[in-house]
């Protein structure tokens, strides 16, 4: 039986890296997209030969993305079993400090790129009639936070879209779910801590909000994504899974 084929955006580092590794551990062959070409190359070098096919692209650049998507579709040769829309960016800004350029960039990467990648790959997913799409939401799609209003809006859009897409694609045998990570110990989160007057105190304050008493690890998210993409989740669709150490349960 041929290996399943997956596409993962934002594959080079953090959560995307963990998702890629978790899928490959299940025997899936991954086509990974990221703007960090060196990171993709390093990831590919650490994996079994041919397990990862890398594509360097900034998903905020529509022209470049269209070119890469055409190449990706050609390389997939008519079949895609799993799509993980993981790529995302964040900026802490108050509403009054969020200009149109920042707002557009956040929506372009966090939501519109996922929509456009899905649209391009949909004929291949439909052809298999057994596909799975996993979208990366956030705890901030479920709760609010000061200075995250634009980011919250992009992730809220992702979760709402997930539910609609699950209904639309169910007749084609395609399941669509979202994962909503809480605070995950990635470079992105550490950069946010570093903007505080006391980064160590900011880190401890975040941990204090988590019933499990620790920050999440990228592998925690990778494991849930791999489950949702697998046949073990064959009756799961239209759901938004908080993976947040209990933070949103308070």
User: What is the per-residue pLDDT for 243?
Assistant: 98
CA distance linking residue 243 with residue 159, whole number of Å: 14
Average pLDDT for 190-196: 87
CA distance linking residue 155 with residue 134, whole number of Å: 13
Confidence of residue 7 (pLDDT cuts 50, 70, 90): very high
Q: Which of 62-76, 92-106, 141-155 has the highest mean pLDDT?
A: 62-76
Average pLDDT for 193-214: 93
pLDDT tens for 19-30 read 999 999 999 999
In contact, 84 and 182? CB cutoff 8 Å: no
Average pLDDT for 173-184: 97
User: What is the per-residue pLDDT for 128?
Assistant: 86
- Catalytic option among 55, 151, 193, 241: 151
| Residue 245, pLDDT above cutoff 80 | yes
In contact, 139 and 180? CB cutoff 8 Å: yes
Sheet containing 5-9: which strands, arranged edge to edge? 52-56, 29-34, 5-9, 82-85, 132-136, 175-181, 240-243
Confidence of residue 92 (pLDDT cuts 50, 70, 90): confident
Q: CA nearest 181: which of 245, 250, 98, 129?
A: 245
pLDDT tens for 119-145 read 999 999 999 889 999 999 999 999 998
* Number of neighbours of residue 74 by Cβ within 10 angstroms: 9
In contact, 244 and 183? CB cutoff 8 Å: yes
The percent of residues above 90 in pLDDT, for the chain, comes to 90
User: What is the per-residue pLDDT for 235?
Assistant: 98
Tokens of 102: 């920042």
- What residues does each domain of the chain span? 5-181+218-237, 185-215
Tokens of 138: 């956030």
* Number of neighbours of residue 88 by Cβ within 10 angstroms: 26
Q: CA nearest 230: which of 9, 19, 15, 10?
A: 19
| Residue 1, pLDDT above cutoff 80 | no
Supply the DSSP symbol for 234. T
User: What is the per-residue pLDDT for 113?
Assistant: 98
User: What is the per-residue pLDDT for 234?
Assistant: 97
CA distance linking residue 6 with residue 86, whole number of Å: 12
Average pLDDT for 165-182: 98
Tokens of 81: 């079993």
Q: Is the dihedral of CA 26, 27, 33, 36 positive or negative?
A: positive
DSSP secondary structure, 56-92, as one string: E--TT-HHHHHHHHHHHHHHHTT---EEEE-------
Confidence of residue 185 (pLDDT cuts 50, 70, 90): very high
Mean pLDDT rounded to a whole number for the chain = 96
Average pLDDT for 15-21: 98
Q: Is 148 a catalytic residue?
A: no
pLDDT tens for 37-63 read 999 999 999 999 999 999 999 999 999
Give the containing element (helix H, strand E) for 29: strand 29-34
In contact, 40 and 94? CB cutoff 8 Å: no
CATH number of the structural domain 5-181+218-237: 3.40.50.720
97-105: long-range contacts, CB 8 A cutoff, minimum separation 24: 98/149, 98/150, 102/150, 103/150, 105/60
């Amino acid at each position: 039986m041929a290996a399943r084929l997956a596409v993962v955006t934002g594959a080079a580092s953090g959560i995307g890296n963990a998702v890629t590794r978790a899928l490959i551990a299940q025997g899936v062959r991954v086509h990974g997209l990221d703007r960090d070409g060196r990171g993709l190359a390093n990831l590919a070098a650490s994996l079994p030969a041919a397990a990862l096919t890398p594509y360097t692209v900034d998903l905020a650049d529509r022209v470049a993305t269209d070119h890469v998507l055409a190449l990706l579709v050609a390389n997939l040769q008519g079949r895609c079993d799993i799509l993980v829309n993981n790529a995302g960016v964040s900026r802490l800004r108050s509403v009054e400090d969020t200009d149109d350029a920042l707002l557009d960039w956040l929506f372009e990467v966090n939501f519109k790129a996922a929509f456009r990648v899905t649209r391009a790959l949909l004929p291949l997913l439909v052809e298999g009639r057994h596909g799975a799409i996993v979208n990366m939401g956030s705890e901030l799609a479920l709760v609010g936070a000061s200075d995250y209003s634009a980011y919250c809006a992009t992730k809220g859009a992702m979760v709402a879209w997930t539910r609609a897409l699950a209904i639309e694609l169910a007749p084609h045998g395609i399941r669509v779910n979202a994962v909503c990570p809480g605070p995950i110990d990635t470079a992105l989160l550490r950069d946010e801590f570093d903007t505080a007057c006391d980064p160590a105190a900011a880190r401890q304050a975040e941990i204090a909000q988590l019933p499990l008493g620790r920050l999440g690890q990228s592998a925690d998210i990778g494991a849930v994504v791999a489950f949702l993409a697998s046949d073990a989740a064959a009756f799961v669709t239209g759901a938004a899974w908080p993976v947040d150490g209990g933070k949103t349960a308070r």
